[in-house]
Amino acid sequence: MTGQTQIDLPYSELMASLSPDAAGIWQTHIPDGWLQGRTTYGGLSAALCHYAGKPSARDMPLRSAQIAFVGPAAGDVSLRVEVLRAGKSSTYVGVDLFGELGLATRAVFVFGSARPEGKRIAPHLIAPEVPAPNPANRMFPEAVGPVFISNFDIELVSGGLPLSGSGIAENLYWMRHRDRAAPPDITSLLALGDAPPPVGMSFYDRPIRISSMNWSIDVLTDQFETEDNWWLSRAHAQTLGDGYSSQSMTLWNRHGTPVMASRQTIAIFG
């Protein structure tokens, strides 16, 4: 895999360029620096969909999302937003992202107000003990990896490198946006959370192509604070076979608070 070091447009500026026209259709242009192969990097597609959909949520925070990566899109894209249901304490919003070839990403977001129930537990999402992040330990050196990866700092704390043949099924990463103007919010985390390569790639020792098919997300808090923009991610490959891999992912802040849990199905092309 080869990439480039140039960040054609920082994350914060790209998101600011997304705006609706008179008909309510959101539009922007995806520069080459955000591509994964011939399509827009999936995390950015998810972030764009959320950015366009959240004004319809009546200030409710995001609680969960279902995102299907249907087809490729690059360059000029448009997004269409539909409120599927608006209840007293929750709102369901659908967002479709289109490229020149048609529908590329379909997202359904569930927004919900906080409820008075006071219990808060996460017994199975305790953050592992790991060394503090070190920017010098970037997983992908300059000009290595998929093009979009230049927008992020990613450090492999433990696990297996992609295409190493190690067969290690669980990876831990420190991650952050290289754009320090990226705000600490759920939209930025959607753009960041899908950045590391699938863990299943460590089982291969030859070049392969991969494509994210879907992303199911549970948002565990409406407070997104961390230190120096770093987030700890754990990804676990649970199945690998028939040209597909299924993995679970958890994201914590620097204080060990779980903020997001998700699952993905990835297509693998030999």
Give the pLDDT confidence score for residue 118 in this predicted structure.
66
Does 3 score more than 80 pLDDT? no
Q: What is the pLDDT of residues 101-152, one digit of tens each?
A: 999 999 999 999 988 776 677 777 899 999 999 988 888 876 677 899 999 9
Q: What is the pLDDT of residues 57-68, one digit of tens each?
A: 989 999 999 999
- pLDDT band for position 250 (cuts 50, 70, 90): very high
- pLDDT band for position 5 (cuts 50, 70, 90): very low
Does 175 score more than 90 pLDDT? yes
Give the pLDDT confidence score for residue 143 in this predicted structure.
60
Give the pLDDT confidence score for residue 136 in this predicted structure.
84
Give the pLDDT confidence score for residue 6 in this predicted structure.
44
Structural fold of domain 11-113+128-269: Porin (2.40.160)
Q: What is the pLDDT of residues 70-105, one digit of tens each?
A: 999 999 999 999 999 999 999 999 999 999 999 999
Q: What residue ranges do the domains of the chain occupy?
A: 11-113+128-269
- pLDDT band for position 16 (cuts 50, 70, 90): very high
* Rounded-to-integer distance, Cα 48 and Cα 81, Å: 11
Task: Of 7-16, 46-55, 67-76, 96-105, give the lowest mean pLDDT range.
Answer: 7-16
Q: What percent of the chain has pLDDT over 90?
A: 84
